[in-house]
Amino acid sequence: MEYTVDATSGLISPARFCRSENCDARPESAGIDAIIIHGISLPPGEFGGPAIEQLFTNGLDPSAHPYFREIEGLSVSAHLLIRRDGELVQFVSFNDRAWHAGASTFRGQPRCNDYSIGIELEGLDDVPYEAAQYQALGGVIAALKRAYPALSNRRIAGHSDIAPGRKTDPGPAFDWLQLYDGLC
């Protein structure tokens, strides 16, 4: 599938847009030059439900699952979610700062949210990701590199790489070679 990013709006097509308030303006001096890959499932170990979208849009009901009480009040987001079937859901314009990385450093540069794009894959650290997700991710990265020339394959990292000891995603089940084999 061919993906296109409108650099003016910061939106990717085709994606379903589900606006998150958990974002703000990037610092004026920050360019977009990194991609951070994450993994998420809500509740942990369950796929396909509405909870990820509810979390990123501040609509998660803490009484719906015991784990949701632990994360109640979190204000987080990502630019993009890639579901198990490859569906794209965009929450934040790529031109804005999504709140996905937390305390983080990439190649000596702190505050990754300032200059990175956060892409969540629906999954778990120890459960293989789906072929449809790798195909979509490769297409998304190609579209992002066309829209934001400072991005390159060498500026892609996992959440665990930028927040070691604090985060483990996308985890050992994420096949980096499969990703890189699909990139141009």
Mind telling me the catalytic residues?
A: 120
Q: What is the DSSP letter of 148?
A: -
- Rounded to an integer, what distance in angstroms lies between the CA atom of residue 17 and that of residue 180? 27
By C-alpha distance, which of 117, 109, 108 is closest to 23?
117
Peptide bond into 164 cis (omega under 30): no
**What tokens does 63 get?**
């009484």
Residue type, 129: Y
- Both tokens assigned to 138: 């490769």
| Tokens matching residue 14 | 């085709």
DSSP 42-66: SSTT--SSSHHHHHHTT---TTSSH
How far apart CA 134 and CA 136 sit, in angstroms, is 5
